[in-house]
Each structure stands twice: as structure tokens, then as C-alpha cells.
Amino acid sequence: MNPILPGAIPSIPVSVNAFLEVLLVLTALSLLVLFGMTLREMWGAYRRRERIVCPVRLRRVRVLFGLGPDGEPTDVVRCSVFGRQAITCGKACLVRRETRFAVNGG
């Protein structure tokens, strides 16, 4: 008879199926994380967040601009002054931003 080498028999009785099940769960979780990251990147591809000085309220605000096909802001999607309500200020920050880049050549 062949002697059994020490260490050949695991000291913790865990089957191979348990390791495979843990590996399957970790793989599924990592795929979900990758899918979520992809969706987040796709959502942000057509929007840009900026902190600017509001020309109407004259205070610092966070603005979410909607981007056009050329990558330039075309609409104000959300502003920290109005929150989730409709933007009723006339979106002067968009007009001011366009003229600033036209004057500066940026």
C-alpha cells in the first residue's frame, strides 16, 4: 500500500463544490458591478456637471448641462437653485457660458 503523504488530506472538510459555488457567486457579483459601471458611464456621456456663478442669483451653483452631438452644452438639465423643479430663470448661465467661450476663443 502507498502511504498517504501528510497534507494531502485537507484539514478542513470542504468539498470542491463549495469552492465552485463561491467562485460562481463572486463571478456573478463582478459582472453586475461591471454592468452598473457601464450604465453609469453611458448616462454621463451626454451630460456634464459644473460649478459656476449663476448670472441671475449671483451665487455659486452646481449645474448639470445636457450636451449636444458636438460635446458642447445645449441645455440646463438641473440646477442646485431649483433642485428637481422646473428651471424658470431663462437659463442665462447657458447663454453666458457660450458667449464667454466665444470671446475667449475656447
Per-residue model confidence (pLDDT) at position 35: 96
Per-residue model confidence (pLDDT) at position 9: 61
Per-residue model confidence (pLDDT) at position 32: 97
Per-residue model confidence (pLDDT) at position 18: 80
Per-residue model confidence (pLDDT) at position 98: 56
The model's pTM is 0.54
| CA torsion through residues 90, 91, 93, 95, sign | negative
Low-confidence ranges of the chain (pLDDT < 50): 103, 106
* Number of residues that this document lists for the chain: 106
Nearby residues of 84 by Cβ (< 8 Å), 6 or more positions away? 78
SS3 52: strand
C-alpha cell at 92: 442665462
Per-residue model confidence (pLDDT) at position 26: 95
The CA distance from 76 to 52, in Å, is 12
SS3 104: helix
